[in-house]
Amino acid sequence: MQVGSIHIHPIKATAPVGLTHSKVDLAGLRDDRRWAVVDPFGSRLNATTHDLLLTVTATPHTDGALTLTRSGSAPLHVRVPHDGEEVAVNVSRLPTMIDAGDEPAAWLGAVLGESVRLVWQDDPGRRPISNLHGGRGAEPMNLADAGPLLVATSASLAQLDAWIAEDHEAEPMVMSRFRPNIVIDGSATPFVEDHWRHIHIGEVAFRFAEHCDRCVVTTIDPVTLAHGKEPIRALARHRRWDGKTWFGIRVVPLETGTVSVGDPVIAS
């Protein structure tokens, strides 16, 4: 097995950014999910309720700054707001974040058609992984829902496409619906990742945290923004337990390092 692709989402709920290699921090891939869009009350917006976020790409720079781009909008450079105002947010295990200022708020507000703010997670150590999601002690985490990294395999996606095709003609699912960080190619067995507990990807070791339960955001086409029933309908038939549907696994880095497309993957 080997790494087929690497993806980050610098602003949570926005479009993925594909990489050929990435630094791995203990809190997740470097620059992944360190920013979020919140409403005036500090509640974080998501793609389920604000699917236009999927049309925004946030490209990171080496200093952590971002360039925001979207078809029909002028690009916007956003610096890291080290001196920004600390504001209250409604984010699990993270009471405050740093406001990025009026300019990105106006840019994103024009996209979404409502008043919003862009906020930055200054220190992932302030948001430990919950023990309800496989956390052990004070392990740091970015703004992902439950685990620092999401891993999926192309073999599992192929099997899911086959299940969907049993019921009706449909275009193959794109992996970006599931928003993984690392996609692994070369497995002969779909969903073999269910059984992994230890993974070496290139020079970095990871441990299994939990299986990933899937929400309705996977039913939104990330390109057309069309909403449908798949893949949740097929997952509900074949991958349902504990009242949820499942695809991919959440993993925790045990060390820092670099992962690259083509890196060998060893799992047990």
Mean pLDDT of all residues in 16-38: 98
Residue 196, in any domain of the structure: yes
Question: Is the same domain home to 149 and 262?
Answer: yes
Give how many domains the chain has, as a whole number: 2
Exposed, middle or buried by CB within 10 Å (0-12, 13-18, 19+), for 92?
Answer: middle
Same domain, residue pair 116 and 148: no
Residue 75 has pLDDT above 90, yes or no: yes
Host H or E run for residue 15? none
Secondary structure letter of residue 129 according to DSSP = P
Span 137-185, pLDDT tens digits: 999 999 999 999 999 999 999 999 999 999 888 889 999 999 999 999 9
Cα→Cα distances 130→26, 45, 170, 195, Å:
15, 21, 37, 21
Q: Are residues 159 and 254 in the same domain?
A: yes
Q: Are residues 121 and 196 in the same domain?
A: no
- Mean per-residue pLDDT, 95-113: 98
Residues 156 and 257 in one domain: yes
Based on the fold, state whether residues 96 and 148 are members of the same structural domain. Answer: no
* β-strand partners of 117: 38
Question: Same structural domain for residues 159 and 185?
Answer: yes
**Mean pLDDT over the full length of the chain:** 97
- The answer, as to whether pTM is greater than 0.85, is yes
Judge whether 25 lies within some domain.
Answer: no
Full domain range(s) for residue 190: 132-136+144-267
161 and 112 in a single domain? The answer is no
What are the distances in angstroms from CA 222 to CA 44, 51, 70, 143, 191? Answer: 19, 8, 13, 20, 23
Domain annotation covers residue 249: yes
Higher pLDDT, 168 or 60: 60
260, 150: one domain: yes
Which pLDDT band, with edges at 50, 70 and 90, does 190 fall under? Answer: very high
Rg (CA), the chain: 18
Phi/psi of residue 46, nearest 5 degrees: -130, 165
Q: What is the pLDDT of residues 202-252, one digit of tens each?
A: 999 999 999 999 999 999 999 999 999 999 999 999 999 999 999 999 999
The pLDDT of residue 169 is: 84
What count of Cα atoms within 13 Å lies in the side-chain half-sphere of residue 234? 23
